[in-house]
Amino acid sequence: VSERLKNLRTTIQEINRYVPGKSIEEIAREYGHSPAEILKLGSNENQLGPSRFAVEAIRQAAGSVHLYPDVDAAPLKRALSEYTGLPEELIVASGGGMDGVLDTLMRMFVREGKDVILPTPTFSYYEISALANGGRPVFVPRGENFAINTDQIIRAADDASLIFLCSPNNPTGNQVSEKDLRGVLESVNALVFLDEAYVEFADKNFIHLVKEYDNLVVGRTFSKAFGLAGLRLGYAVMSEAIQRAYMKVATPFSISRVAEHAGIAALEDREHLKESIEMVRRGRTQLSKRLNLETYPTQASFILAETYPHLASEITTKLLSKGIIIRDCTSFRDAGKYLVRITVGREEQNERVIELLNNMV
């Protein structure tokens, strides 16, 4: 690094960049496929697409983009209050997706050298954001069926400022049990961030627990069930004390006018939400029944499959040559080399993956 850049913090120089799922453009170029033929099941996007009402709201908002949006996204918060059944005072919304929310919380809670507890394997941006904010990630591997190791988490939490629990967990698909969650919340002084990015597809959610525990924040997103990943819209619920502190440091105007209107329209389109959830539930059964691979039970919009004795990287590369993108989980810490994650899609999409994968194993 040049002399003039010597103030770049060493922790940042050492961070490994976030590995995203592959993009359609990238694969089309690399393998000579036409973009329209490519099936993208590596990033857990909604395979039904966005709500048509959200698309219409985007069109309508487009003419006003010379104006700043509402500073606190109040109309969106009102809609979220209705959707979650919680008062607006407990809600924050963020541009930059849920990633934006958790980055802000890191800035608020992580002190230099303080521990951030991560039950692995899990979503990899937590580690990056912890490091970027001067925290020290502490990895607590999950146990049987990827359940979190509550006792170990509590023991490790003495010097921790934050604990990340993801439910349903990415990439494993399982939820945290209420007993484990309450056990952690009651035994630690750290902030617990419960990531419910995929919760609309699951049997249970824990959003109401923010009224009981002032050290709980529940993160949510419009990227999955609502099909708005490209707009980057997230939100979270938390105790009023944290919400007030959050609003002091949140990036002003982080939610664009376009995203705010689309978010409100998506929340109103209950039919699209219901269809998305039903597609995923049917698709999970289809994939788990028909794939000739061992799959794990899932509450999310993806399914985790075991590729042993084939390497996950071999399987995913072969599928790319056929125009299908799924996720090789090798880059997830503590996931090993034999797991792939497949986004659940529409019936005919799932069928294409099943046929090709079953021919490979």
Q: How far is the CB of 231 from ligand PMP (least distance, A)?
A: 9
221 near ligand PMP (CB under 6 A): yes
- Whether 171 contacts 200, CB under 8 Å: no
260 near ligand PMP (CB under 6 A): no
**Which among 32-40, 63-71, 79-87, 93-101 is the span making contact with ligand PMP, rule CB under 6 A?**
93-101
Structure tokens at 338: 């034999």
170 near ligand PMP (CB under 6 A): yes
38 closest CA partner among 55, 22, 24: 24
137 near ligand PMP (CB under 6 A): no
234 near ligand PMP (CB under 6 A): yes
Nearest residue (CB) to ligand PMP, 221 versus 239 = 221
Q: How far is the CB of 185 from ligand PMP (least distance, A)?
A: 19
261 closest CA partner among 90, 85, 64: 64
CA distance 42 to 29: 17
299 near ligand PMP (CB under 6 A): no
**Contact with ligand PMP (CB under 6 A): which of 93, 166, 250, 325?**
166
223 near ligand PMP (CB under 6 A): yes
Nearest residue (CB) to ligand PMP, 234 versus 322 = 234
Instruction: Please report the DSSP string for 328-344 in residue order.
Output: EGGGSTT--SSEEEEE-
Which residues in 168-295 belong to E strands, given as ranges? 191-195, 216-221, 233-238, 294-295
173 closest CA partner among 209, 224, 137: 224
92 near ligand PMP (CB under 6 A): no
99 near ligand PMP (CB under 6 A): yes
Nearest residue (CB) to ligand PMP, 225 versus 312 = 225
229 near ligand PMP (CB under 6 A): yes
CA angle, 84 as apex, 82 and 89 as ends, to 5°? 80
Q: How far is the CB of 299 from ligand PMP (least distance, A)?
A: 12
**Which among 127-135, 151-159, 221-229, 332-340 is the span making contact with ligand PMP, rule CB under 6 A?**
221-229
Q: How far is the CB of 10 from ligand PMP (least distance, A)?
A: 27
ω into 309 cis (within 30 of 0): yes
CA distance 356 to 359: 5
Residue with tokens 């002399």: 3
Residue nearest to ligand PMP (CB): 97
Q: Which residues, other chains included, contact 303 with Cβ-Cβ below 8 Å and sequence gap of 6+?
A: 173, 284, 287, 288, 295, 296, 341, 342, 344
30 closest CA partner among 310, 322, 311: 322
Nearest residue (CB) to ligand PMP, 33 versus 141 = 141
Q: How far is the CB of 195 from ligand PMP (least distance, A)?
A: 5
Mark 39-78 with x for binding to ligand PMP (rule: CB under 6 A) and - for no binding.
Answer: -----x----------------------------------
**Which among 28-36, 91-99, 205-213, 312-320 is the span making contact with ligand PMP, rule CB under 6 A?**
91-99
CA angle, 173 as apex, 336 and 226 as ends, to 5°? 130
Structure tokens at 195: 């990531």
Q: How far is the CB of 256 from ligand PMP (least distance, A)?
A: 14
Output the CA torsion 279→281→286→291 (10° steps): 120
Phi, psi for residue 40 in degrees, rounded to 5: -105, 100
Residue with tokens 């850049």: 5
Binding site for ligand PMP (CB under 6 A): 44, 97-99, 123, 166, 170, 195, 197, 221, 223, 229, 234
